[in-house]
Structure 1
């Protein structure tokens, strides 16, 4: 005779959810109970993931591997210009992947300019860039990734629906596809991984005439003379590769560059871009965008006002790219119906150190989290670790501090750990030592360009035997350099360990094994050779 299933007592949660209180409760009984009592109106799952980006996909597959019944709901709301894309989220479709490929396109342009100094005979009249060829190649690759994600979900027995998800009640969700067909599902737990979308200015003409990064990577024409509005990493990366393709590019900055990053490094990034032909208009914000000529790309007139005085700027551009920040996709998914709290100003979701919202059965990862890093690998790591804790007996929590990242501006900027400003704030200026130096990549010596532009800096905690708490580098291939050092930093690397490490000669990363000058000393760090 089979044993009776455990009894599950359910009471109303103060915010409208259900709270499980039975001692005998086991995984999966809640959704079965809802089906039996007629509250389901649709199939039930152990976990429903809302959002098919990198974090959501990683979490869903991890849960399925642990034997759970999982669904992913993903829907891309088209941009004001009608741009949309396939499964995979921002990173794959309109973020990291196309950005890095277009950055590489610009680097190839620089390599072509350097080549004659190394003996390559090039017919410069025959060298020109084709926007159409580049975007077609990039979009073909992205399309292959979209298909691969769908196949991977199927192979892992994860149910996928291209439908817009909204909470409608406790443990219950409504999914609407692009044809307006509505279905309802219930789940034991939910994971919000909806990410963010670009912000608009809220001025006349912004949505009608401007583009964002959501539109740029599949733009069917070369953008021509471009105004990039914003100073985020998205703004500077896009401005960098567009200028690298030979376009006339201007960046309009409201306040500071790369807010949240080390400002010493951010200013060096800006200086390098300016020295290489990218114009900057500082302390101005657009107030009106007008179309003065139709076409692809057409012509736009931008009116902007100073943030410091009564100054007015007017300029004409073929394309205006808005990169002023991103908003969390949390306000239109029914969170208020189940009582999930959000930051009303930002839309971000506060969570505890296990990515749990104030509603116990609802979790969140990725860019929607309040006060967390907005990076694809962070979302992936957080999603996998969360699922391992929920279903696999795991204990490890995501580390949101020692996270390596790279800004793919013309001079790449890699960082891990604390910025100088944050280190001073947390540890105190007297308790940190900053070692730094300029350097000259060997590859740049023959073309004789950009000496004393690459820069290395580490921040050390003096009371902890100079443990490295911040790592920063401006250099070609900065991401490749930073990735390796990030592992060492997680292992507690000290300045003494760095000094005892033999460098690989002649590479850029070698500079970190020979740093000897402190910022405090104000000694000269300019280099005369590699």
Structure 2
């Protein structure tokens, strides 16, 4: 769906390159949704085939623990199945969170899981939250031509570099996504017309306001999970102290129905995530947990995949290698993509002190933005390094086209302990956005204009 939005933007600018495209361009939600859903179904089918080829037995049922070595399930036709094993791995992931304390939220709202399976266009949409899930969804909804508003309690992309996060939202705002900042929703009602009326409060002034939408999409953090409506009204008075909506935990772990207590597996009572050690072992030595369901793990698919591979190798391949969660690269697929690896500028200065950190940065203009005269004011790169030679690279942040492809390559070097000098000795590929990384030479400390000009 992100790709669909990017294609729409390219079509709008195609006339600069000589293509005659009928205006206004139209997007067919049904056609896109059908293609996306068919692709996902094909992936699921492919996984089942591979499991069968590898002689792995697959049970399409919901299981729960009977005891430390046994899980049981009941099929739709009432047939009970019991499975016992020497080792058990829990990898049940999580589900999006509904703010059940808000009137009408569960009855009338949807989540990011639902948006991808809608057969009809969601129409005018309110996205509540400012996590990467929220901004990605809002970005592609705007990109396919829908009236989209983001309601955010505090900062966007909590846990990411905040300078980069600000650029992401600035770009989205300048390209059509509307933002209601510093607001908390309190009620969702269905009107006789079928539309949804949302009531929210401004945290700074305490004033109440309303808006009408066709769809309300919840993409919130966990901090509001236990709040009642009265709590929210009181907490408005404590705005500077309130933990924000968009905290790093956005999903509810699938642990509540597993009967973990029957196996003796301990969880964090606050969020129900499973407590694990560096070897992914739970409180029971032969039971393991990987991925989003485990406490303190990045909620990223690739980290779960690698953790699972390493666990299998430790159990059956005579390996002792542990998953390293440092310098994990990731990308936020907002309209202007944001890729990063390593520490944010805030994290680096907190760990090493501001005087011991050097930040090299640059504003640049992607070649694909030139002829089409696209706005590149938020296209920005910064490399966070230790100040003392050899200036170890602590983090790299890239905002621009194909950010994931750019960061994936540099992630290897940073994982291997690359220094600023080594990056500068790397030959750039011209004309790419990636080459701007190996040309970074202006530090923030210098105060010089970091805008790239000429060669």
TM-score under structure 1 length normalisation: 0.78
Number of residues paired by the alignment? 425
Pick the aligned partner of 1:266 from 146, 150, 165.
165
Q: CA deviation at 1:201?
A: 1.0
Bigger mean CA deviation after superposition, 311-320 or 463-472: 463-472
* Superposition map of 1:102-121 within 5 A: 102-121=1-20
Pick the aligned partner of 1:475 from 400, 424, 432.
400
**1:86-141 deviation line (CA, Å, top 9, x unaligned):** xxxxxxxxxxxxxxxx000000011011100111112214x311000000111111
- Aligned residue number for residue 313 of structure 1: 209
The answer to whether the aligner puts 1:419 opposite 2:344 as a matched pair is: yes
* Distance in 1 of aligned mates of 2:453 and 2:383: 21
Bigger mean CA deviation after superposition, 171-180 or 390-399: 171-180
- Aligned residue number for residue 516 of structure 1: 441
Q: CA deviation at 1:207?
A: 1.4
- Aligned residue number for residue 210 of structure 1: 109
Match of 1:258, SS state, is coil
Q: CA deviation at 1:205?
A: 1.0
* Distance in 1 of aligned mates of 2:76 and 2:451: 59
Pick the aligned partner of 2:374 from 434, 449, 472.
449
Bigger mean CA deviation after superposition, 309-318 or 228-237: 309-318
* Distance in 1 of aligned mates of 2:282 and 2:79: 29
> Retained in 1: the 8 A contact 2:68–2:264?
no
- Aligned residue number for residue 200 of structure 2: 304
- Aligned residue number for residue 64 of structure 1: none
Pick the aligned partner of 1:150 from 48, 56, 61.
48
- Aligned residue number for residue 396 of structure 1: 321
**1:51-100 deviation line (CA, Å, top 9, x unaligned):** xxxxxxxxxxxxxxxxxxxxxxxxxxxxxxxxxxxxxxxxxxxxxxxxxx
* Distance in 2 of aligned mates of 1:361 and 1:341: 13
**1:263-294 deviation line (CA, Å, top 9, x unaligned):** 11111101110111111001111111111146
* Distance in 2 of aligned mates of 1:160 and 1:232: 34
- Aligned residue number for residue 194 of structure 1: 92
> Retained in 2: the 8 A contact 1:440–1:529?
no
Q: CA deviation at 1:528?
A: 5.0
Q: CA deviation at 1:369?
A: 1.7
* Distance in 1 of aligned mates of 2:385 and 2:294: 29
* Distance in 1 of aligned mates of 2:74 and 2:385: 52
> Alpha carbon RMSD of aligned pairs, Å?
1.3
> Retained in 1: the 8 A contact 2:125–2:215?
yes
Pick the aligned partner of 1:141 from 39, 44, 48.
39
Pick the aligned partner of 1:362 from 273, 276, 287.
287
* Distance in 1 of aligned mates of 2:452 and 2:126: 35
Q: Which structure 1 segments of 5+ residues have no match? A: 1-101
- Aligned residue number for residue 53 of structure 1: none
> Retained in 2: the 8 A contact 1:440–1:451?
yes
Q: CA deviation at 1:299?
A: 0.7
* Distance in 2 of aligned mates of 1:413 and 1:327: 25
- Aligned residue number for residue 165 of structure 1: 63
* Distance in 1 of aligned mates of 2:84 and 2:15: 64
The answer to whether the aligner puts 1:347 opposite 2:272 as a matched pair is: yes
The answer to whether the aligner puts 1:244 opposite 2:169 as a matched pair is: no
* Distance in 2 of aligned mates of 1:222 and 1:293: 20
The answer to whether the aligner puts 1:434 opposite 2:359 as a matched pair is: yes
* Distance in 1 of aligned mates of 2:206 and 2:71: 51
* Distance in 2 of aligned mates of 1:201 and 1:482: 34
Q: CA deviation at 1:170?
A: 2.0
Q: Which structure 2 segments of 5+ residues have no match? A: 221-249
**1:476-518 deviation line (CA, Å, top 9, x unaligned):** 0000000000111111111101111111111101111111111
Match of 2:446, SS state, is coil
Larger Rg: 1
* Distance in 1 of aligned mates of 2:386 and 2:75: 53
TM-score under structure 2 length normalisation: 0.91
